[in-house]
Structure formats: structure tokens, C-alpha cells
Structure 1
Amino acid sequence: MSQYDDRNISMMMDLYALTMANGYFVYGNEKTWAAFDVYYRKNPDDGGFAVFAGLEQIIEHIQGLHFSERDISYLRELRQFDDAFLEYLQNFRFSGDIYAFPEGTIMYPNEPILTVIAPMIDAQMVETVILNQINHQSLIATKTRRIVNSAQGRPVFDFGARRAHNVDAAVYGARAAYIGGAAGTSNIMAGKQFGIPLSGTMAHSWVMFHDSEYKAFRRYAEQYPDDAVLLVDTYDVMRSGVPNAIRVAKEILEPMGKRLKGVRLDSGDLAYLSNRARIALNDAGLEDCRIFVSNSLDECTIRALILQGSNIDGFGVGESLITSKSDPVLGAVYKLVAVQDKEVFVPRIKVSEAASKTTNPGLKKVYRIYCEKGQAIADLITVADEILNLAKDSRYVDPEKPWQNRSFTNCSAKELQEPVIKGGRRVYPKRSIEEIRHYVEQQISQETWKEVTRLERPHVHYLDLSPAYNEMKTRMLREASMADKFMPNALS
């Protein structure tokens, strides 16, 4: 059995998760419930949106979260934890509630994409993995979507396994890439684990191993007559590679009743070479032979190739996709927003000198607002028990311009968070990767403004506040400011 099969990664958490949990236990707060929101502050690559991914792995982790005897023994050796707390961990299971956007939801900065409402210890235990999964998979899904958008309907394939940061990054990155719109992956483990279509051609080493390029192509075509894509840039694309590919198509495949599926370019001026290759293939009656390209591609390079009129039918993208090379951090955070006092959750707010780091306090709901044409025009945060009524004009507050009087007119709304785990048990239906992928595509093609998907200077999707929520947040900020004035000066 592989070391990656049936792993228990319950100990994959920051040390402070356990030291704080130990403190809550020692002081008798283990049964006090609290609420934490997960959100991020900025879209990757200064883009207009992000794609939420990784929820299924979060659920799987939380459902299996437990501490083995070896885990407890190791923690005891650290000499940082109370013995009674370690005994408590022996039977620990997550008992709280989680609400989240459906996986694949198009999301925007500063809105709660996932909320944990649980005993303090439980909430602390799950922070690291929740952020780990969301930050990684959402980042790769978002990067892939940008690349797919740039390809304008041409398929994009994940070729990044060898450049990923480790095995898990390659496998779960391939999952995220498929959710984001990639047509397939070269990663066999990801194909097996998630049912992602596999794609791949030959290696330069196959061509170099044989004593002639023609023999290498011929043997490959004989072995894979239904899926022959020949790598034509090992020596000289137009003097050797493409002519030998045409020869194999005519001498080997056509007598078998087969057609050459494609050729691949992995170096050189891809626009120029693809156009030259297209002419040669068409002249040989191979109009249906597709041209695929790879070689350090990203969304900007792909857009440039298309604008230059290149004859390219598909793209293999490696390191720029699987590592989100141009902006490798999503930056999602996990912030306390409320603490239970008797039967009431009391809002908590973190105030910062940087306005972007001041949190949105309290239990809340987040809605997507749609215009009459069904396009998403804004997201709206309300107080949790607030009733949203868009049957008539509904006033909202733009946090960037709170002095303006604005209303939603002839609009509809959809609540974005759904119950995922209740009382420690899964209530969220397991969705196939095809369903998640389709959901992303449906939102991009039907709901999201095209201006939001621009690569540069995209339209900003608005995040507004209901008047009641804005009043609550403003009051808390005012109270925090007043409290700060009366705090003793530690330097005096």
C-alpha cells in the first residue's frame, strides 16, 4: 500500500492550534462556542474573481479527525499540554457546524466563503487544514480559469505534475485545475483518484532513443494508432518533424484506416511554427490533424498567441498553472467573528490600522444579487437573522461610499452559504468533479459580467452591506475607538 493511501493527517495543524486548545480546556472553556469566518482579501493576479475549491477535502478531513495513541504519545513528549487535555483528545471528534459556499462558486474578496460555528477547541483544531485546502485548491482553480478564459474555447491541459511543489500539490492541483476548466491532466494518480480525463503525448527522449525520428514516430503510431500525437520539435520542426509526421500518417495510419490525431510543438516561435505546420498538414490532406503547443505557457502568452493569428488547437500548461507562478498566494484567513454568551453569539471585531484588515464582525449571511437579466451585480452581507426582501426597492450601503443612498431595484438574491456539517455530521451532498466543473462554467458563461473576467483592470464586483449590518459594524468600530482612548499608556 502506498504511503499516500488512507493517511491520517489529523496532526496537520499549527502548534498554536493545540496550545490554545489546551488553554481553553484548562480554563474550562471547552464547551464555549464561537464562530470563525474564512475569507480572502485580494484576488490573485489582480484579477476580478476567484474560484472556490477544496471543500470536499475539508469535509473528508473533519469527518476523519482523531488522534491516535502515537499522536497522543508524541504530544506528551512535547511537555506543553495538560495530562487531562491529552486524555480529552483521545476521544475527540469534531462536534460543530460548518456552512460554506458550494464548491466551484465564483467568489470575491472579504466575503465569508466558509463559517465554522463550534466549541472553541473544535474550531481551533480545523483552522490549519481548512486554510491549507482553500488557499491551495482555490488558487490553482482560479489560475486555471484565467488560462482557460484566455484560450477562448481551445482546450487547456494540466501538464504540471513534475513542476508541482510535491506529490499532493500535483494531485490536488490537478483536481483544482479540472474544476477551473482544464480539459484533462497528464497526472495518472489524479486521473485515478478523481476521474479526470488523462492526456499526454510522447517524450523527446522517445525520439532521441531511436536511430531516426521517422522510426520513433512510426513505432509510436503503431502502438497508439487511435491517439497518435507526435512531438515534432526534437530536431527541426519544418524540415524533419512535420514531414516525418505526415509520412507516418500516410504510410502507417491511413492503411490501418486511422488518422493522425495531432502534432505537438514544445519550443521555438509557436505562432510562426504553428502556421507553417498548418499549411503543410493541410496540403497533405490532414486538415483534421490538430496542433498542440506547450513550453512555459500562461494566460498572457496564450492570449498573445491567439491575437497573433496562430493555428493552435490546444495548450499544455505546466508550472504557471500548477504553482500559480505569477501570484502563488491566495491569502485566505480564519478570523473569530462571534463568541457565545449563554444563548447569544456576541459579535467580535478585529480593528487594524489597515482598513483592509478590519474584520466583518458577527454571525451573518451573504447573498448574491442578480439583475433582471440574471447576471450577478453584487454580493450583500446582512445580519444573520435579517429578512431580505427584494420584492421592492431595497436599500444597501456601499462600504466604499457609505454616504450615498443606493438601492437594488428589480433584483433577486441567492443565499450563498449552505450547511455542510451539522453537529459533526456531513449534511452536504457529495458532488462529482464533473458537477463542480460544470457549476464553474455555468457561472462564468451565464452569470458573471465579462468585464469581471478581464485579465487586466477587471470590473470590481461589489460587496455591499445591508443598513442593519452596516449600523452594527459602525457601532462596534465606534466602541472600539472609544475603548482605545481610555486604555492606559504602557509607555508612560
Structure 2
Amino acid sequence: MDHLGELKTEELGLFIDLYELTMAQAYHSEQLEDRALFTLHFRKLPEQRNFMLACGQHYAALLATALRFPPEQLEHLASLDVFTDDFLQWLGNFRFTGDIRVLPEGTPVFPHEPLLEVEAPLIEGQLLETLLMNYVSTETVLASKAVRMVIAAEGRSVVDFGMRRMHGYDAALRGVRAYRTAGLAATSNVLGSLRYGLPANGTMAHSYIQAYKDEMEAFRHYARLYPGTTLLVDTYDTIKGVDKVIRLVKEEGFEVGAIRLDSGDLAELARASRKRLDEAGLDQIRIVVSSGLDEWSMQEIIDAGAPVDGFGVGTKLGVSEDAPAIDLAYKLTEYRKEPRLKNSPGKKLLPGRKQVWRFRDAHGCYSYDEICRDTEQRDGESLLVTVVRNGEPVGPEPDIEESRERVKRALDEMGPAMLALDRAEKDYDIRISEELDQLYREALEAVSENGSDNRG
């Protein structure tokens, strides 16, 4: 158990769907080695979303530059009895040599807009599909859920408690990276905190209180060991638990930073707890609530006027319960300098190299986006930037704090409809430039006439 199931760098090449490798071998045997363009995008928003928060694409692009097929992995592939010696030898010499452009992490993104585009020899671009889609899908889904909770909290702290019920340790770790980008205040995930710089935070479990015969004794020991801690007060009787905290502070001089409510009518219990604390002169003690929260229940608590200072969110964040997947697609959109697309119902694909331009109104708020050919110029903000050129990283690695600031700015620049938790009556305005639309129609006509010969 040398790595306890964790993906090692030398295994990146095998983190792939089999058909990517069989297609690559077919390309290799036919010497289809010309330059190709692949676009990663999604076709539609999840039902309750007004935008998605792009996350993971820059990091994934850098992973692509580390993709290798060392001898041990080639032996594994050879054991499948699918691949020729010639192709395995080619894989042994594989190095990504192409270019990758991405949206900066923390950028709000909408249907049909590229999260990234890969321009490389056809086989190289094909081999990246699974890796790129997995990383971008996981982090974008989790960041998009987390930012909704940040919006719902209206400036109150939101802490991640969800790792125990997430779909594997990898999602739990990468989730912390997404949560920091989205604006969460802290995480209970120690490794995630150390790896991605989101402060570690936690309280206690009911089992700690239960381990003592007397609740007050449990509070006393914990507060002595951790001055300024948060005490869980609802193991037995919530209001009696609050009264014990008050005695602990007023009569025994202990320092308590907050109480946590984890069951019952959270809004009503928060009001009752706040009243008791304030009457005791302890207005500095904060109230944190948890217990199966999502953005809608958080909003209800705030709308009820509950004096809550922070939220602990777990399962419904960690699995993005209402929208656990996004309709991501990684498609060939240009080959041999010719546009490529598919003509499938409900699966529109924009061909060629693209750029996304974002426009703001006179108040600096989002107005509309235009997807153009990359040769077109506009007076808005161009979003796609090159992060890999000729197989080598360009510029610094993605800075999570910079991405977090980008999210904060975006939230200030979006209108109320986009920030609403329910789907807006009107979608954000996404326009297709005339040149790109013309290219699409020409490619569609070519597919209709010569589809049997079109390798796209």
C-alpha cells in the first residue's frame, strides 16, 4: 500500500477511458497527426443555476504537461492485448507539445463558452479528454455550489463540514480548493486546509459530550483546553446547554467564542439563545448553525431574522445535492485548419478557435457575453488566456487567492437576477458573433453534404 489509492504522477497517463487509447492507436496507425482543436464547454445550465463558476481548468492544463507513460504503465497496457508494440513505443515517448487556453479560475461561465481549448496534434489532444473533463467537472460543480452558499449567507461565514460523506477522498481534497476559490471561510478538512490554504476550523461532535456524565464538565474541559472555542449545545436540551455556557463564562471565567446549534428549529433556537446570551452581557459570543443545510435553508434562516453569525455546511455542499453533474463536453472543433462539428439534435457545437468577450454596462455590471472567432476584436474583456504553449507552462501557476478575489469582484458585478438562488426568468445574454455563426453554418452544410467523410 505504497500510496493508499492516491493517483501518482506516473499514473496520469492511465487515468483515461479505454476508447481514448484505442482511438489514439487508430490515429497513429493511419498517421493522422495534423493539428487539431478540442473545446471543453457545457451545453446547458443545471436547473437551478444562473451561472457556473469555472474552477480547475488552469490546474488541469498544467497536469497535462506532466502526462507520461513510463515503462511500468506500458507493461500494464500491454497486458490488455489491445495495443501494438509500435503504438506502445510511441506512448513511451509521449510528451504534450500543444497549446492550452483557459478561462481564469473563478470566472462565471455560461453555456457554449469554452472553459478551455486545446490545440495540439490530434492524438495528443485526444489523450487529454478524460483527465481534463474529470478535473474541471469536479471542481466547477463544487465551486458553483459553494458560491451559492456564499451568496445565501449574505456576508456571514460559511464553513465546509462535508468531507465524511463526499464521493471519495480525492473529491474531498479538491473540493477544498474549489471552496477557497468560491469564498468559503474555512474547512474541517485538515489535509485540504494544509494543501490549499483554507483555514482549518471545527467544533466538536455530540459523542464528546456524551462521553462525560455531566454536560457542564464536558464544556469545562474543552474550553480549558481550547480558549475561544465553539461549544455544541444541543446534545440534550439546547437552552439549558446555552445556560451552562453562560455560567461557564460568567462564573468560572472561561473564554468561549461561539455556540453551535445542530438540530431543531434553528431560527427559533438562535433567537432564544441570542436573547439569553445578550441578557447575560455576552453579546460577543457568536451563534453558528448546522444540520443538513443548503443555500435555500440558509436563506430561510436569514429571512426569518435569526441572529446567526455563521453556517456549517456538509453533505449538500460536498455532493452538490441538487446539481451533482454538469453537461460537460470535450469536442473536436477544428482539424487540419478546417472547422469540425457534429450535427446531433440538441448538441450544438461551435467550431474553430474561439474567444469570449465580456461586456459591462455603464455601472460596471455584467451586460452580455459574445463568443467570437479568435481573430475578432472587441472592446470588452477577453477571457481566454494561454497557460500552456508548445507543451510548457506559460506564466505563474494559478493563485487560489487571486481566483477568490476574482469571484468577489464578479459577485459585485452581477445583477440580482443572476445572484438569485432560483432560476431567473431570463437567461444571461450570450451572443454569437456573425463571423462565428457563419463558420458554424458553413461547417454544418459541409457535414450535411459530406458527413460520411468528416472525421469530426
| TM-score, normalised with respect to structure 1 | 0.88
Match of 1:450 among 416, 421, 440: 416
**Does residue 15 of structure 2 align to residue 12 of structure 1?**
yes
Partner of 2:327: 331
Q: Does 1:244 align with 2:241?
A: no
1:5 Cα deviation after fit: 8.2
Deviation of 1:373 (Å): 2.3
Instruction: Name the SS for the 2:330 alignment partner.
Output: strand
- In 2, are the aligned partners of 1:100 and 1:114 still within 8 Å (CA)? yes
Match of 2:188 among 183, 186, 191: 186
Aligned counterpart for 1:429 among listed residues 396, 410, 417: 396
Task: Determine the C-alpha separation between the residues in 1 that align with 2:116 and 2:395.
Answer: 13
Moved more, 176-185 or 454-463: 454-463
Alpha carbons 1:94, 1:122 under 8 Å: kept: yes
CA–CA separation in structure 1 for the residues paired with 2:7 and 2:280:
49
Q: 2:88 and 2:381 mapped to 1: Cα distance?
A: 43
**Structure 1 residue 310: Cα displacement:** 1.0
Establish whether residue 346 from structure 1 lines up as the match of residue 338 from structure 2. yes
Structure 2 counterparts to residues 265-344 of structure 1, below 5 A: 265-340=261-336
Deviation at 1:211?
1.4
Alignment of 1:394-413 (within 5 A): 412-413=379-380
User: Aligned equivalents of 2:396 and 2:281: distance in 1?
Assistant: 50
SS in 2 for 1:9: helix
CA contact (8 A) 2:142 2:179 kept: yes
Partner residue of 2:365? 375
> What does residue range 52-71 of structure 1 map to in structure 2 within 5 Å?
52-71=54-73
SS class of match (1:38): strand
Q: 1:360 — aligned with what?
A: 350
The 3-state SS of whatever aligns with 1:464 is strand
Match of 2:235 in 1: 234
Size of the aligned set, in residue pairs, is 449
Q: Quick one: distance in 1 between partners of 2:311 and 2:360?
A: 34
Deviation by residue 1:391-449 (Cα, 9 ceiling, x = unmatched) = xxxxxxxxxxxxxxxxxxxxx4011100010000000422322111111111111x222
Mapped partners of 1:385, 1:368: distance in 2: 16
Q: Name which of 388, 409, 418 aligns with 2:385.
A: 418
Percent identity between the aligned chains? 37
- Counterpart of 2:287, as a letter, is I
CA distance in 2, matches of 1:335, 1:381: 17
Amino acid at match of 2:106: G
Deviation at 1:251, TM superposition (A): 3.2
AA aligned to 1:237 is T
Provide the C-alpha distance between the structure 2 equivalents of 1:482 and 1:23, rounded to a whole number of angstroms: 25
What is the CA-CA distance between 1:2 and the residue it aligns to? 5.2
Structure 2 spans left out of the alignment, 5+ residues: none
Residue pair 1:222, 1:252 contacting (<8 A) in 2 also: no
1:428, 1:114 → 2: CA distance? Answer: 16
Q: Distance in 1 between matches of 2:151 and 2:382?
A: 27
Change (3 A) 1:44 1:179: farther
The Cα of 1:79 is off from its aligned counterpart by 1.0
SS at match of 1:93: coil
CA spacing shift, 1:9–1:237, aligned 2, 3 Å: same
1:75-90 superposed matches below 5 A: 75-90=77-92
Q: State TM-score, norm by structure 2.
A: 0.95
CA-atom RMSD in angstroms = 1.7
